[in-house]
Chains A and B, each alone.
Chain A
Amino acid sequence: MTSTVSILALALPAAVAIGLMGGFALLKGMTLAGDTMSHIALPGIGLALLWGLNPLLGGVASLLAGGLLIWQIERRTGLPTENMIGVVFAVALAVGALVTPSEQLVEAVFGGSGAVTWTTVAVALAIAASVIAFLWMARDRLVLALFNADLAAVTGVSVARLNLLFLLAFAAALALGLRFLGALQVGALVIIPPAIARRFTHTLGAFLAGCVIVSVAAVLVGSLVAASQGWSLGPTIVLTAGAAFALSLFKKKE
Chain B
Amino acid sequence: MSPAHPPLMLSVRDLTVVLNDRRVLERVSFELSAGESLAVLGPNGAGKTVLLKTLLGLLPPASGSVVWDAGARLAYVPQKIDADLHLPLTLRTLLESKARILRLPSSAAGRAAEAADIPAAVLRTPLGHLSGGQLQKSLIAFALLGEPDVILLDEPTASLDELAEAHVYELLRDLRERRGLTLVFVSHDLSVVPSAATRVLCLNKATVCYGTPQQALTPEVFARLYAAPHAYFRHVAEAHGHAGGHGAAEHGASRHHHHHDV
Decide if A140 touches B74 in the complex (CB within 8 Å).
Answer: no
Q: State in angstroms the CA–CA spacing of A147 and B142 once bound together.
A: 12
A-B contact count (CB 8 A): 78
Q: Known contacts A141-B101, A148-B78; is A154 also within 8 Å of B87 by CB?
A: no
Q: State in angstroms the CA–CA spacing of A156 and B56 once bound together.
A: 11
Q: Known contacts A150-B58, A154-B74, A155-B102; is A139 also within 8 Å of B97 by CB?
A: yes
B63 within 8 A of A: no
Q: Mark B89-126, 1 if CB is under 8 A from A, else 0.
A: 11001101110111000000000000000000000101
* Chain B: number of interface residues, binned into ranges: 20 to 34
B176 within 8 A of A: no
Contact partners of B93 in chain A: CB under 8 A: 143, 203-205
Q: Known contacts A143-B94, A143-B97, A156-B101; is A29 also within 8 Å of B84 by CB?
A: yes
Q: State in angstroms the CA–CA spacing of A155 and B101 once bound together.
A: 8
Q: State in angstroms the CA–CA spacing of A146 and B88 once bound together.
A: 13
Decide if B97 touches A140 in the complex (CB within 8 Å).
Answer: yes
Contact partners of B96 in chain A: CB under 8 A: 140
Contact partners of A244 in chain B: CB under 8 A: none
Contact partners of A147 in chain B: CB under 8 A: 81-83, 89, 94
Closest to A254 in B: B129
Q: Which 5 A-B pairs have the closest CB atoms?
A: A140-B97, A207-B88, A154-B76, A143-B97, A204-B93
Residues of A participating in the B interface, judged by any CB pair closer than 8 Å: 26-27, 29, 139-141, 143-144, 146-151, 153-157, 198, 201-207
CB-defined A-B contacts under 8 Å, sample of 19: A27-B89, A29-B83, A29-B84, A140-B96, A140-B101, A141-B101, A143-B93, A144-B101, A147-B94, A148-B78, A149-B82, A150-B58, A151-B142, A154-B58, A157-B101, A201-B88, A202-B90, A202-B126, A204-B93
